[in-house]
Structure 1
Amino acid sequence: MESSLRLNGGAQVAPRQAATRPSTVRSSDDHAMLRKAAEVSRDINTPRAGIYWTDLIASAGIGYAALYLAATHSHTGWAIVAGVVAVLALYRAISFIHELTHIRSSRLPGFHIGWNLLVGIPMLTPSFMYEDVHSLHHARTRYGTVEDPEYLPLALMKPWTLPTFVLVSALAPIGFLIRYAILSPLSLVFPALRKQVVERYSALSINPQFKRRPPEGDFRRWWNRLETACAIWAITLVGLVVTGVLPLRAFLVMLAVVSGVAVINQVRTLVAHLWENEGEAMSVTAQYLDSVNVPPPALLPMLWAPVGLRYHALHHLLPGLPYHSLGEAHRRLSAALEPESPYHKSSHSGLPVLARRLIVSSLRGGQ
């Protein structure tokens, strides 16, 4: 996922600040890089259903099993270990929502509904909250502008924005419960509320200025089915807790695990881009240079940037490439392009270096 795991319109970070230094990311396109990227990926752009299904089922299965152990184990130490495993596994499972937005359902039959049944509905993050939203982030004229739901110039904003940005995500499970257990049914009765729910509380985005358009046609029917299922599950979950069928401790552990997933994703979001654009349209190459790859030999990105998210910059060059092909595409491009190619400039060694860069930029440019 490229966006924050929180409801648009919830607690918000500061509005965009005027930059105190010129942007360094706008540039013309490097056509040699773009041509080579298309060339080396032609034979690896088909999603392999076996990989997708095996990865998803294993991640969700491990995640839910670990969640059960964390919620029921009497030994605090083992419960904590199980909770950490649950966070990492379910984070990987939920990250497939990013793949759903780029790969047509006809190329992976059944995967969209399968992901929603296994992950989207149980975790109250149905795919409609990302579908028709994330695509705007990849639009040539929208990336990095006020019309991009997934962009804020964090490097140019007030320094306190960064910790606030992360801490807000910890409230995600409460926000999801309110969204589906309360706002969904109420919005059926009050049209004005429904308009607000659709515009402000139905997108996984980080831009507080973003307002979502009402769904239409087949997508509206898909949205309504998923929202109904999520509302029923959310109301049932609250009812189970209130009646004591689901112990309060188990419920709190569930909230903590989902909160952990949201926080990890928010931290990853912080280092997915350099966040240095001031709102102007950018070339594809400039978008690439404002994005981040964290390739091997780094190992930890497998945990905090799973399902291909460690190749985020490459993904902006080849948004339709399946996650399991990004590593091979990166190896081919790294070998084929000259050392002076801009392609190499978006590779970084790890999260600490990227986080430090963002903090320093914020301290310099957002005061």
Structure 2
Amino acid sequence: MNAETPYAEQSLARQANDLARDLMRADPRIYWLDLAVTASLTWAAFAVAVTAQSFGLTLAAGAVAVLALYRGISFIHELTHLKREDAPGFHLGWNLLIGVPWLTPSLLYEGVHILHHAKDRYGTARDPEYHPLARRPLWELAVFLGVALLAPVATTFRFAVLAPLGFLIPPLRRLVTARASGMVINPGFAREDLERAETPAWLAQEIGAWAWSWTVLGLWVGGVLPTRVMLTAAVIFALMTFVNQLRTAVAHYWENDGSQMAPLDQFRDTVNVPPPALMPFLWAPVGLRYHALHHLMPRLPYHNLGLAHRRLVAALPATHVYREVEQRELIPALGRLIGRMRAAR
């Protein structure tokens, strides 16, 4: 606990907004440039990985592809908070360059992630992105991380099999929309916005992912695409998802028992991994290293989070609650989670 007064603690969100209100405007040039560079690097590294004759070059290109794809996929988080008029065409561009080709269209996150920010849902059974890991046995952490490696199979099955079947069988489509159309970690969560599946944006993304998956699978079965291409894509996607799952494991403290939390307790359950740590640039890209700050100011664009953090650090005392949620790096944070899981048992 810190030396702040209760009033000062409760006004943390107001303090953050007072200090960084002028940073709320998204710069579409940064979004587009970042996406263009990231998508180009992803596809170029993937091309090298599937054509290189040297095993070492294949591994190096594959590692670059994993990290570049991870950064590209991470923009799906920005899409849920970014108004379309702030970066015209960006949602469509991202889905064309990254989302649909890697079977992770934004429909899987839009309408779901925003519920994680609802004050009456956070940390409860109605939160799609909360699982009380710190209260669970260690084997659940192993399952939590390991299941991410199945992502290539899960997404292919979702769009190559369940999507077309759903259009033929309406009850199945409703079930797929509710239980297989969200990037969630709460196994009990089901979408309630079933009408969203009939909107033009959803239909375009779902049909696009379905058509893409059938095209790729058809080219592979027909011998046009080498098996190496398919396996490399699957490994890159699986490893990318695994890295994201590692980040997710340390994005919160995961200690809530399922009851509704006060806003300040919600903040204390989130994590920042600010500089001088350097590696979060790779494992928590596109502003994800400032996860706690993001929960204070969800509409703050990723490219301004660093500046906002520096302002808060400069203006608030070192004993302020804002500094309590900081972690140094991925491995130490993961070690602390494991320690809390052991202590809870």
Give the TM bin, normalised by the shorter chain. over 0.9
Does the CA-based 8 Å contact 1:215-1:223 persist in structure 2? no
1:188 corresponds to: 167
- Please give the root-mean-square deviation of Cα atoms over the aligned residues, in Å: 1.4
- Cα drift, residue 222 of structure 1: 1.3
**Secondary structure, counterpart of 2:235 in structure 1:** helix
Counterpart pick for 2:93 among 95, 107, 114: 114
1:171 corresponds to: 150
1:105 corresponds to: 84
1:299 corresponds to: 278
Cα distance change, pair 253–30 in 1 and its aligned pair in 2 (3 A) = same
- Cα drift, residue 192 of structure 1: 2.4
**Secondary structure, counterpart of 2:175 in structure 1:** helix
Does the CA-based 8 Å contact 2:247-2:283 persist in structure 1? yes
2:3 corresponds to: none
How is 1:150-161 mapped onto 2 (pairs within 5 angstroms)?
A: 150-161=129-140
1:59 corresponds to: 38
1:15 corresponds to: none
Counterpart pick for 1:211 among 174, 182, 190: 190
Moved more, 354-363 or 216-225: 216-225
Alignment of 1:249 with 2:228, yes or no, is yes
- Cα drift, residue 217 of structure 1: 6.3
Alignment of 1:88 with 2:88, yes or no, is no
- Cα drift, residue 113 of structure 1: 0.6
Amino acid at match of 2:240: V
Note the alpha carbon deviations across 1:188-209, whole angstroms, 9 max, x for none: 1122221221111100001010
Note the alpha carbon deviations across 1:207-254, whole angstroms, 9 max, x for none: 010011244369722111110000000111111111110000111001
Distance (Å, rounded) in 2 between the aligned partners of 1:49 and 1:266: 28
Does the CA-based 8 Å contact 1:28-1:286 persist in structure 2? no
Note the alpha carbon deviations across 1:291-347, whole angstroms, 9 max, x for none: 000000000000000000000000000000000100011000011112221001011
Distance (Å, rounded) in 2 between the aligned partners of 1:67 and 1:282: 44
Moved more, 69-78 or 210-219: 210-219
* TM-score, normalised via structure 1 length: 0.90
2:254 corresponds to: 275
Does the CA-based 8 Å contact 1:29-1:286 persist in structure 2? no
Distance (Å, rounded) in 2 between the aligned partners of 1:348 and 1:168: 25
Does the CA-based 8 Å contact 2:174-2:194 persist in structure 1? no
Distance (Å, rounded) in 2 between the aligned partners of 1:70 and 1:161: 33
2:107 corresponds to: 128
After TM superposition, what 4+ stretches of structure 1 lie above 6 angstroms from structure 2?
none
Counterpart pick for 2:237 among 236, 251, 258: 258
Counterpart pick for 2:306 among 327, 336, 349: 327
Amino acid at match of 2:256: N
Distance (Å, rounded) in 2 between the aligned partners of 1:156 and 1:267: 17
Does the CA-based 8 Å contact 2:197-2:203 persist in structure 1? no
Moved more, 216-225 or 62-71: 216-225
Does the CA-based 8 Å contact 2:178-2:194 persist in structure 1? no
Does the CA-based 8 Å contact 1:180-1:230 persist in structure 2? yes
Cα distance change, pair 339–359 in 1 and its aligned pair in 2 (3 A) = same
Does the CA-based 8 Å contact 1:95-1:307 persist in structure 2? yes
Does the CA-based 8 Å contact 1:120-1:127 persist in structure 2? yes
* TM-score, normalised via structure 2 length: 0.96
Distance (Å, rounded) in 2 between the aligned partners of 1:121 and 1:234: 9
Structure ranking higher in helix proportion: 2
Does the CA-based 8 Å contact 2:267-2:295 persist in structure 1? yes
How is 1:1-20 mapped onto 2 (pairs within 5 angstroms)?
A: none
Does the CA-based 8 Å contact 2:196-2:202 persist in structure 1? no
How is 1:32-43 mapped onto 2 (pairs within 5 angstroms)?
A: 32-43=11-22
Q: Which has the higher contact order (CA 8 A, sep 6+)?
A: 1
Structure 2 unaligned blocks of 5 or more: 1-5
Does the CA-based 8 Å contact 1:116-1:127 persist in structure 2? yes
Alignment of 1:343 with 2:322, yes or no, is yes
- Cα drift, residue 187 of structure 1: 1.1
Amino acid at match of 2:115: L
Amino acid at match of 1:240: L
Distance (Å, rounded) in 2 between the aligned partners of 1:141 and 1:361: 25
Alignment of 1:229 with 2:229, yes or no, is no
Counterpart pick for 1:352 among 323, 331, 342: 331
Distance (Å, rounded) in 1 between the aligned partners of 2:235 and 2:194: 32
Note the alpha carbon deviations across 1:109-129, whole angstroms, 9 max, x for none: 111111111111011111011
Alignment of 1:48 with 2:20, yes or no, is no
Structure 1 unaligned blocks of 5 or more: 1-26
**Secondary structure, counterpart of 1:170 in structure 2:** helix
Paired-residue identity, %: 48
**Secondary structure, counterpart of 1:314 in structure 2:** helix
Does the CA-based 8 Å contact 2:103-2:155 persist in structure 1? yes
Distance (Å, rounded) in 1 between the aligned partners of 2:163 and 2:277: 43
Q: State the number of aligned residues.
A: 340
Distance (Å, rounded) in 2 between the aligned partners of 1:199 and 1:31: 35
